[in-house]
Amino acid sequence: MYLLLPFYRCWAAGEFCALEKSRHRAYTVYTLCTAMPAGGERGRIIMAQYEKGIETKRLLLQASRELFYRQGYEQTTTRQIAEKSGTNLGLIKYYFESKADIALLIYLEIRNAFSGWLQQFGYTVPQMYLIDSALELRLCFNSPPFGRFYDQIYKEPKLRALFQSKVLDSLHMSSRVNAMGAEYFTFACLSISAIKPALVSFYLNPGGEKYSPDSYIRYYMAQQIHYLQYENPQELLEFCLQELTKYYFDAADNFAPVMSRLVP
């Protein structure tokens, strides 16, 4: 990787921080329980505590989803999350480190649901990247709560690093970009990463709706193709824009994914 390697490391640390803590505890529980005689009282106690921890995490994530959806990420406090979930405030830091880590997990769950669903349609790597990223932009327009959530979490360094890491992956897959050197690679990543958040922020503010969502999406996709140096840019652009018309993506209550293919 080039100069943006620290961004990738930052993202990796941010994305997996809470998950690794949970995995470590799960491994500890498993080790202790398997070391106990079958039916041992201490083993049962440890398993009960572990299961209680899983339920506590579920309640915290569920409460966070509801609050982020209803009132926004920035307007939600960790105290509100704790109160709504019926848990202790200190458990948020114990399980997730911070509100930003909770938002990261929720965002990844939403995005992975959409991305995983798209993989069944056999797109090439460039097509998949462009369609997937454009559908996320459309989702920000279709679902104002998700658009607000996306707009607000981008201000968090961990989340911003995650978005940049996704662009990094696409840049590395472009032989033309890799041949252009580290300086272009860095500036291309920064440019692409900044476009979508800027478009979402502008659209959500008064006056932004005067341009159609399709205009935003066309501009966004064209800029990505330009920076990624994909071959046959106009043909690729028109193909991907046409493909976008075949899908309906939305986020229902508490960001529940809604997705369907409109045309065979």
* pLDDT digit string, tens, across residues 32-91: 444 455 556 666 555 555 566 788 899 999 999 999 999 999 999 999 999 999 988 888
| Residue 2 placed within a domain | no
From 53, 75, 103, the end of a domain falls on 103
| Residue 6 placed within a domain | no
| Residue 4 placed within a domain | no
pTM: 0.80
Both 113 and 95 in one domain: the answer is: no
Q: What is the pLDDT of residues 106-119, one digit of tens each?
A: 999 999 999 999 99
| Residue 12 placed within a domain | no
| Residue 76 placed within a domain | yes
User: Is pLDDT above 70 for 17?
Assistant: no
Both 132 and 244 in one domain: the answer is: yes
- Which residue range is the domain that position 65 belongs to? 18-103
- Give the pLDDT band of residue 15 (cuts 50, 70, 90): very low
Q: How far apart are CA 154 and CA 200, in angstroms?
A: 11
| Residue 8 placed within a domain | no
| Residue 1 placed within a domain | no
| Residue 72, domain CATH | 1.10.357.10
Both 62 and 148 in one domain: the answer is: no
H-helix or E-strand spanning residue 258:
strand 257-261
Provide the number of structural domains found in the chain.
Answer: 2
Q: How many CA atoms lie within 13 A of 248 on its CB side?
A: 7
User: Is pLDDT above 80 for 31?
Assistant: no
User: Is pLDDT above 80 for 13?
Assistant: no
The pLDDT of residue 135 is: 94
- Give the pLDDT band of residue 207 (cuts 50, 70, 90): confident
Least confident of 112-116, 121-125, 137-141, 204-208: 204-208
| Residue 10 placed within a domain | no
* 39-78 as b/e: b if 16+ CB within 10 A: eeeebeebeeebeebeebbebbbebbbbbbbeeebeebeb
User: Is pLDDT above 50 for 221?
Assistant: yes
- Give the pLDDT band of residue 197 (cuts 50, 70, 90): very high
Phi-psi region of 240 (alpha: psi -120 to 50; beta: other; left: phi over 0): alpha
From 103, 119, 144, the end of a domain falls on 103
Q: Are strands 247-251 and 257-261 parallel, antiparallel or unpaired?
A: antiparallel
The pLDDT of residue 49 is: 58
From 74, 103, 132, the end of a domain falls on 103
